[in-house]
Amino acid sequence: MRLLALLGGGIAAALGCAVGAAYGVGSPIAGGVEGTDTWSIVFLSAAAIAFVLYVTALLALRSHANALRLALALTVLIQLVPLTGPPLLSRDAYSYWAYGRIVWVHNDNPYDHAPARYPDDPATVAAAPAWRHPTSVYGPTFTVASAGVAAVAGSSRWTAAFLFRATAALAVAATVLVAARIPTRKALAAAPVGWNPLFALHFAGGGHNDALMVLGMVAALALARWRSGAASGSFWIVAASVKSIALLLLPLALLRSRRGVCLAGYLLADRVPF
């Protein structure tokens, strides 16, 4: 157990070094203009070390498969580390904010109006140039959530990005909790997701909404296993209303489910719009 705790702490420390590289002068990690290769090398090296420690920890966990409390504690520690830094490697959170502001501030439809329609809006300015012209590609549930973030954040890009990043980190933690309820060896289900430093950098670092989609999918799979077909279908709808790509995996779930026909009928009755 002590070895696992040390390895988990090492993953968190390496992540801290990767996040710290974003603050270096001339660092491109947080979207700045690259002035030197040093900080990119530090970031990649720290991320690589964190991943090696992660694989080592998973191998060590095989002899401590009942260490669920430790697995959950390290999940919280590892997944929240990137929240101490700025947004990493992506401006997607600003695009989410821009679509939310189209709803909340401009009272328009982000499926009809692109952020570029509001060139002086702080979210449009913050978003990556390539994402200023497309209309929203996300589902209605996430659009409503983005509007909520826009309402809370006001004109603060830092607050908006942090809210999306914190939501993504919490979604990863919630996914771990749900996944740990399914198998007998619960720690072995929790750790591969919760201790993954690349997930931490991607979600808590970048705020990507895939974490919410995956949470809905894992909840749907868990409910199907617990013989709750209607509730499982509802969570598939929730996942698809964040990102419709979730539906690509639905046929696999139906093949594994004894109530697949009922689940499919439930989904069709709700007429998923995409």
Give the whole-angstrom CA distance, residue 131 versus residue 135.
Answer: 8
Alpha helices in 21-67 (DSSP H): 38-61
Kindly give the interhelix angle for 68-80 and 186-194, rounded to the nearest 10 degrees: 10
Per-residue pLDDT reduced to its tens digit, 6-23: 999 999 999 999 999 999
The tokens 């933690």 sit on which residue? 173
Joined together, the tokens standing for residue 16 give 């801290």
Average pLDDT (189-196) is: 93
**Strands of the chain, DSSP E:** none
Whole-prediction pTM value?
Answer: 0.88
- Exposure string of 92-117, with b = 16+ CB inside 10 Å and e = fewer, is bbbbbbbbbbbbbbeeeebeebbbbb
Kindly give the interhelix angle for 2-20 and 38-61, rounded to the nearest 10 degrees: 160
Asked if 175 and 75 touch (Cβ cutoff 8 Å), the reply is no
pLDDT for residue 272 is more than 70: no
Asked if 214 and 60 touch (Cβ cutoff 8 Å), the reply is no
Contacts of 65 (CB under 8 A, 6+ apart): 185, 187, 188
From 26-30, 133-137, 193-197, the region with the lowest mean pLDDT:
26-30
Average pLDDT (169-178) is: 95
User: Would you place residue 181 in the very low, low, confident or very high pLDDT band (cuts 50, 70, 90)?
Assistant: confident
